[in-house]
Amino acid sequence: SKTISKCYVQVTGMTCASCVANIERNLRREDGIHSILVALMAGKAEVRYNPAVIHPAAIAELIRELGFGATVMENCGEGDGVLELVVRGMTCASCVHKIESTLMKTNGVLYCSVALATNKAHIKYDPEAIGPRDVIQVIKDLGFTTSLVKKDRSASHLDHKQEIRQWKRSFVVSLVFCIPVMGLMIYMMVMDSQLSDAHAHHNMSSEEMEALHSSMVLEYQLLPGLSVMNFLSFLLCVPVQVFGGWHFYIQASRALRHNTANMDVLVVLATSIAFLYSFIILLVAMAERAKVNPVTFFDTPPMLFVFISLGRWLEHVAKGKTSEALARLISLQATEATIVTLGPDNVLLSEEQVDVELVQRGDIVKVVPGGKFPVDGRVIEGHSMVDESLITGEAMPVTKKPGNTVIAGSINQNGTLLISATHVGADTTLSQIVKLVEEAQTSKAPIQQFADKLSGYFVPFIVAVSVVTLFAWIIIGFVDFEIVEKYFLGYNQSLSAAEVIIRFAFQASITVLCIACPCSLGLA
């Protein structure tokens, strides 16, 4: 008997089914090649050959001559089938041993492990020699009941609805409170500039000055040291900090627990410090019954949260779109298949309905008109038109006659076909497309990895810079108080120099934090 080896060749440059047919047709003619099976989406050819006549490198060369790129894949374990089963009726370790030893003796089973605690069996097998149904039969013959681990077909892990909802909610909350804060801020700015203009020209009558001052209602003090402006900003800021920032706080605490600093940490740090600092300054001003209203940063948190939650919301909406497409793709897969046994002259002897996962390579599958093809295969009997638009986008049905290939998920139209399964389970075109899209979604763009890496250094760096700022200004202040006096306008003359310096230093370091946080890196 001739020994037959098997090798896998990675094929690049295939664009459509005719490329596949071209490679298969040409290689079958060659001496020493027993059979060849090409998977378009996986870009992989499985070749069974006679090592006495031909070797893998020569096979790859033959494919190259046809105009494709080809390299022999070293790890040929790729072709192993993997099976997860639930086994019921095991009582003790000897049952486990019985199942394992029997399976390992079975031809085609490469590896098997059974866990008594979870009732699960994990089996690796060679799809050429044996299939899932045979394995299940072996276990049944030993007197145990067994079934496939049910796959989650609904693709619920692809659902971004909940995240979209939560980010949308936190964006809307932040926005509602942010608009008035911004309005107040702009109003203050305009008024300030008018005031300074008036001071600059000195040609305003005292009445006009009075009028301007009276329009500064916002600076009016409800309580000594508490202006209307600051009070309103505080009221608007609290809900944002609580509702808008909720998710940020959760994620930041998780990051810190794992000793990493991500963007959420920076956002939380900046907003919390700005909020707490402003709040404490207000309390101090009220305690001192200050005449001049302190400078607060209540406008920072709402605006930050608005930008960032908008960014997150859009990001999840975009992710949701691709995932939706994926979920639709997954839902196109057939769930069951009709397997038939053929006698001589292709006479139907029997047929049974099985789960799609149980179809083995080489099985004969019957597809009735209007049915979906459960697996990729080759037609062996029957003529029909098939709608393959899900893969090719071609609206016109394609004629299928014996020898043609069919694609899993496409729809049979008018005739009954018998097909021989060539690619089953995770090897079907549809599964490969789903896998590719999933991989593309999970893998990060290189620039994104770079940004994440940078933000790991960025956060500690910014915190360090703001601390440096704090101490630098304290030192400068104690060395040369005039500088601080020049930049720190409108401080209360009754305060001691030391207090002024420390306040100014705090203000400077907080500003560094608040400005660094919504940087383009974080938003992007």
- Specify the CATH number for 81-148; select among 3.40.50.620, 1.20.1440.80, 3.30.420.40, 3.30.70.100: 3.30.70.100
SS3 content of the chain, % helix, strand, coil (to 5): 55, 20, 25
The answer to whether 513 and 463 have CB atoms below 8 angstroms apart is yes
The domain spans of the chain are 5-73, 81-148, 156-331, 333-429, 444-523
State if pTM tops 0.75.
Answer: no
CA distance 268 to 234: 17
Query: Residue 146 is inside which H or E element, if any?
Result: strand 145-148
Would 81-148 and 333-429 be classified into the same CATH topology?
A: no
Closest by alpha carbon to 125, among 81, 77, 60, 179?
Answer: 81
DSSP string of 296-354, one letter each residue: --TTHHHHHHHHHHHHHHHHHHHHHHHHHHHHHHHHTS-SEEEEEEE-GGG-EEEEEEE
Q: What is the CATH number of domain 333-429?
A: 2.70.150.10
CA distance 270 to 147: 54
Residues facing 406 on adjacent strands:
377
The answer to whether 412 and 377 have CB atoms below 8 angstroms apart is no
Closest by alpha carbon to 476, among 496, 502, 513?
Answer: 502
The CATH class of the 5-73 domain is: alpha beta
CA atoms within 13 A on the CB side of 356: 23
* pLDDT for the residue 468: 94
CA distance 107 to 97: 18
* pLDDT for the residue 357: 84
* pLDDT for the residue 402: 93
Sign of CA dihedral 514, 520, 521, 524: positive
* pLDDT for the residue 214: 47
* pLDDT for the residue 395: 86
Sign of CA dihedral 108, 111, 115, 121: negative
**Mean pLDDT, 10 residues at a time, over the chain (524 residues)?**
79 82 88 86 85 90 90 69 86 87 90 86 86 89 86 60 84 86 79 68 60 59 74 83 81 77 74 82 78 72 82 80 76 87 84 88 92 92 91 88 91 92 85 78 69 73 88 86 70 66 79 68 56
Residue type, 490: G
- Phi and psi, residue 397, nearest 5°: -65, 150
C-alpha angle 282-461-308 in degrees, rounded to nearest 5: 65
Helix (H, G, I), strand (E, B), or coil: what is residue 71? Answer: strand
CA distance 291 to 47: 88
Sign of CA dihedral 363, 368, 373, 378: positive
